[in-house]
Amino acid sequence: MQIALPASDQPLRIVLPGGSGLLGQVLARHFQERGHQVTVLTRGPYTAPWQTVHWDGKTIGPWVDTLEGADVCINLAGRSINCRYSASNRMEIHNSRIGATRLLAEVIAGLASPPWLWMNASAAAIYRHTLDRDMDETTGELGGGAPGRSNFSAEVAIDWENAFFENPTPRTRKVALRSAMVFSPTPGSVFSAYSTLVRLSLGGWLGNGLQFVSWIHEKDFARAAEFLICRGDLDGAINLAAPNPLPNRKFMAALRDAWNMPNGFPIPSPLVELGAFLMRTESELVLKSRRVVPGRLLAAGFTFEFPDWYQAAEDLVHTWRHRHD
């Protein structure tokens, strides 16, 4: 689908449903700093340099007005994956993502002037567990968790994308953002969690350490989203991941080097399972091997600022120390 784009010097109206979390703030800040008008739809409005509007992600309300005449919608709404031991919470996670997506589809279909681009969150976890080869958008096989592990994250991602693409939107280009773990030097982020392990001398490797880690620096995550806005010829599923995934052992070693922590005790799978239980999360998030690569972004000419984890880790640690230590 080819959608006409506005003049390159024209500020855009960008709406981010569910944009109050870490990824939403990364995108909102990126676009706000570039002079675009950003509106975040959130269950709990908060003080920010961009506009915030209340929505519940379930029902139509006054928030619909923010999408009328908007240029871009980037939907990040949905509960994060946690509580692996609670079937009811798993269902709530699943329904919150699918429900918000279908609500937006209903609203966008009824607008007189809908956004010309709708990007919807997905996840690199949609691909099967693999050690032997890279997974891009063309050759990657969907589903399939690590042996003996849950496959919940892939199942949710598949259902999420099905809900996103199930109804055509002739006036709106659709892109599913299959994002790898986004690393940001921010408290509460995945970078913060990994760094805490390293700084406590627990940054050896997780499980057997052979599983591949797919990742992306927050700057490249935001730059890729901006690139996709500008490329009216790109639609469908797009992998947002750095081009060089690496085994967990090498991933943790590079992070230890960046923190100047020469040693780190490994954490075997049983302790990873225990830690996941205590943290109310899924062990598959760190034990499933992901070799996801950004085939379509690279083919379209996107250039990563941080293609390699060693460089990215150094930058993230430097920024963290400047901000927080």
pLDDT cut 70: percent of the chain above it: 92
**Per-residue pLDDT tens digits for 251-301:** 999 999 999 999 999 999 888 888 777 666 677 778 889 999 999 999 999
Burial string for 26-61 (b: 16+ CB within 10 Å, else e) reads bbbbbbbeeebebbbbbeeeeebebebbebebeeee
Query: Whole-angstrom Cα distance, residue 77 to residue 44?
Result: 13
Query: Whole-angstrom Cα distance, residue 199 to residue 84?
Result: 27
pLDDT cut 90: percent of the chain above it: 78
SS3 assignment for 159-209:
HHHHHHHCCCCCCCEEEEEEECEEECCCCCCHHHHHHHHHHCCCCCCECCC
CB 145 within 8 A of CB 81: no
For range 120-135, the mean pLDDT: 94
- Tokens representing 223 are 């730059």
Smallest CA-to-CA distance from 112 within 148, 83, 69 is with 69
Q: What is the DSSP string of 205-236?
A: -BTTS-SEE-EEEHHHHHHHHHHHHH-TT--E
Beta-carbon contacts of 147 under 8 Å, excluding residues fewer than 6 positions away, are 129
Over the chain, what is the mean pLDDT? 91
Q: Which one-letter DSSP state was computed for residue 138?
A: T
Task: Please name each of the domains of the chain with its CATH number.
Answer: 13-324 (3.40.50.720)
Say which range, 5-14, 67-76, 316-325, has the weakest mean pLDDT.
5-14
* Predicted pLDDT of residue 3: 46
Query: Whole-angstrom Cα distance, residue 63 to residue 53?
Result: 6
* Predicted pLDDT of residue 162: 96
Whole-number Cα distances in Å, 116 to 55, 71, 222, 230: 22, 6, 19, 11
- Tokens representing 50 are 């961009």
* Predicted pLDDT of residue 45: 81
Q: What is the pTM of this model?
A: 0.94
Centroid of chain to Cα 182: 6
Burial string for 240-258 (b: 16+ CB within 10 Å, else e) reads bbbbbbbbbbebbbbbbeb
* Predicted pLDDT of residue 225: 98
